[in-house]
Amino acid sequence: MCKKLWRARCRRWEEYRDSISQLKIINYELEMKENIIQIKSYAFALRIINLYKYLTNEKREYIISKQILRSGASIGANIEEAIGGQSDKDFLAKITIAYKEARETKYWIKLLRDSSILLPEFARSIYNDCEELCKIIASIQKTMKNKNS
């Protein structure tokens, strides 16, 4: 496929992804209190779902796309479980799982980038979001460990 057509498709995908994500994030924010990790992990899961659709429909990539869908979407799911945890120990266990899933997602993003399945500029954007989640979750872990010490 020529580069010009490829870039046009990528732009359309990004525009579509951003518009859908913004609407869903606004709805989600209205339902929640100000919990930054909940909001960011939900927004990230939406990006991952759109990435999965793009990989399967446009690139015909089915193996890594399923892996990144599972790990990327489970970050927010584990954060939600942590928030509903019955104890600090339960909370910390679920937050730790969310951190591991975020690390795994970073791995799949790098693999997609380095295998030229994703253009570097698209991979960089989603990778940076994932890195931000890792930093926030790591900070939460550190706070909880200090609290329990």
Q: Among 22, 13, 18, 116, which residue's Cα sits nearest to residue 64?
A: 116
The string of DSSP letters for 15-46 reads HHHHHHHHHHHHHHHHHS-S-HHHHHHHHHHH
In this prediction the pTM is 0.79
- The tens digit of pLDDT for each residue in 89-118 reads 999 999 999 999 999 999 999 999 999 999
How distant is the alpha carbon of residue 125 from its chain centre?
A: 11
- The tens digit of pLDDT for each residue in 28-79 reads 555 556 799 999 999 999 999 999 999 999 999 999 999 999 999 999 999 9
Q: Which CATH architecture has domain 3-147?
A: Up-down Bundle (1.20)
What is the spatial distance between Cα 130 and Cα 128, in angstroms, rounded to a whole number? Answer: 5
Both tokens assigned to 12 = 């359309």
